[in-house]
């Protein structure tokens, strides 16, 4: 029996579905996928259209709402919302350092995780649609970031299940390899660094001093992780959100304390860094990140730790050279590096598994350009100007390749605009989908 929870303004119902681990073998091993239905209080029995929300990631569980918070407040005016914990996350059958050893050796673990990309997520969603709406029912789709990538896969594999699709910060390059993605990303990250240092000029020296210290003596984080120079640079991931630059500045303010042994990195700073760098809550983000770009028709070879390989083409991100030359130390962005599986305790047991995935070849295609070119589903997308996480040029090229897709290019919001705009981003997309904007 489904569990129903009431919070101020909302009624939430738990749903648990059995789906095949491998959709090519529907009678084979089954896993669980959890979803939370959310409807405005008083509308529980109303005939409302369904809106499926696909979370960013990969490997991110759906948000846990508290009443009508963030974008849900606007969505619940018109929709019955389904928040999906994508396979392997949240209350779905987990895939973590604790559970994956149950699959067997590292090869078995890698084979298992090969079924956790967007194509499997979409096929899960289709089974759920049939269960909740019936075979003829169609629902609306909202995809944030990686959820937008999944939306493009949905439009490629099962457009008949959709009445409309809305994408925020998630128009992926249909023909971009992992190396292409990172080759375009490093210059964008450099621009975000420049903007941060222009806003907070003293942070140039603050970052250099921390990097100098870590180059000689890497610090231990509260969870036992190692804060190396490269790990410290990974805090640049923060620069892609609307308030990220400010939060990074405040984090740096607390960097130092004078202890019995002299000046040292403070516990406050190290705890704050750990909260930003640890993958304990979402290990699949690191393990699967580069595989979301794998497509055999684009590049039949392995993704091969593309972020690490391409980084060598951008020497400005070499902290040691920057320190030697008196240059600002460049922070990195949404890049996953092999050394992360050494410095982060949550990832260490998955090091060999991740390496096998990085060496895997012949990934199935995720998008069908010919289907997208003939698309009949209304699709609208918010494209954030100079989005640090998703290349704007790729997004606009994809918009041209999907028949009927309308874009709203804005510099008012960063990549997290859906969450922080108080419903304004979603409202604009809803009105666009209806032809009202």
Catalytic residue among 92, 120, 140, 145: 145
Do the beta carbons of residue 388 and residue 415 sit within 8 Å? Answer: yes
Helix (H) or strand (E) holding 252: helix 244-253
- Supply the DSSP string of 125-145, one letter for each residue: HHHHHHHHH-TT--EEEEEET
**CB-based burial label for 13 (10 Å; 0-12, 13-18, 19+):** middle
Q: β-strand 80-85 against 50-54: which pairing, if any?
A: parallel
Catalytic residue among 415, 416, 421, 427: 415
Does the annotation mark 362 as catalytic?
Answer: yes
| DSSP state, residue 377 | S
Does the annotation mark 140 as catalytic?
Answer: no
Catalytic residue among 105, 267, 362, 400: 362
Contacts of 130 (CB under 8 A, 6+ apart): none
C-alpha distances (whole Å) from 260 to each of 215, 221, 257, 263 are 22, 19, 10, 8
Closest CA to 3 of 42, 35, 26: 35
Q: Give yes or no for a cis peptide into 58 (omega within 30° of 0).
A: yes
| DSSP state, residue 95 | -
| Catalytic residue positions, numbered | 145, 362, 415
């Amino acid at each position: 029996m489904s569990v129903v929870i009431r919070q101020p303004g909302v009624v939430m119902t738990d749903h648990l579905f059995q789906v095949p681990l491998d959709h090519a073998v529907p009678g084979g091993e089954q896993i669980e996928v959890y979803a939370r239905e959310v409807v405005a209080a008083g509308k529980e029995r109303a005939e409302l259209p369904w809106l499926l929300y696909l979370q960013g990631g990969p490997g991110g569980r759906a948000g846990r709402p508290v009443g009508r918070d963030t974008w849900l407040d606007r969505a619940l005016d018109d929709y019955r919302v389904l928040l999906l914990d994508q396979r392997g996350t949240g209350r779905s059958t987990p895939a973590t350092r604790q559970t994956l050893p149950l699959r067997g050796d590292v090869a078995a673990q890698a084979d298992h995780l090969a079924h956790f990309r967007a194509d499997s997520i979409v096929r899960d969603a289709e089974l759920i649609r049939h269960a909740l709406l019936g075979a003829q029912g169609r629902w609306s789709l909202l995809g944030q970031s990686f959820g937008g990538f999944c939306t493009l896969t949905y439009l490629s594999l099962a457009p008949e299940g959709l009445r409309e699709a809305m994408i925020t910060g998630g128009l992926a390059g249909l023909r971009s390899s992992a190396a292409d993605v990172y080759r375009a990303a490093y210059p964008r990250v450099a621009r975000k660094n420049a903007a941060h240092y222009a806003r907070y000029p003293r942070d140039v020296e603050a970052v250099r001093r921390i990097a100098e210290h870590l180059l000689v003596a890497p610090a231990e984080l509260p969870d036992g992780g190692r804060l190396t120079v490269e790990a410290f640079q990974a805090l640049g991931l923060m620069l892609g959100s609307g308030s990220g630059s400010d939060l990074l500045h405040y984090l740096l303010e607390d960097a130092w304390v004078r202890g019995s042994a002299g000046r040292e990195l403070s516990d406050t700073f190290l705890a704050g860094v750990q909260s930003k760098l640890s993958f304990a809550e979402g290990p699949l983000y690191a393990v699967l990140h580069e595989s979301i770009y794998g497509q055999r028709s684009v590049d039949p070879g392995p993704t091969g730790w593309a972020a690490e390989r391409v980084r060598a083409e951008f020497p400005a991100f070499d902290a040691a050279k920057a320190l030697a030359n008196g240059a600002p130390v460049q922070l990195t962005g949404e890049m996953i590096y092999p050394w992360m599986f050494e410095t982060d305790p949550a990832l260490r047991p998955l090091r060999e598994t991740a390496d096998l995935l990085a060496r895997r070849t012949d990934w199935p295609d995720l998008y069908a350009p010919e289907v997208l070119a003939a698309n009949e589903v209304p699709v609208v997308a918010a494209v954030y100007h100079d989005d640090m996480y998703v290349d704007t040029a790729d997004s606009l090229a994809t918009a041209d390749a999907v028949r009927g897709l309308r874009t709203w290019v804005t510099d008012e919001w960063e990549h997290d605009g859906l969450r922080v705009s108080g419903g304004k981003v979603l409202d604009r997309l809803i009105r666009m989908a209806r032809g009202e904007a």
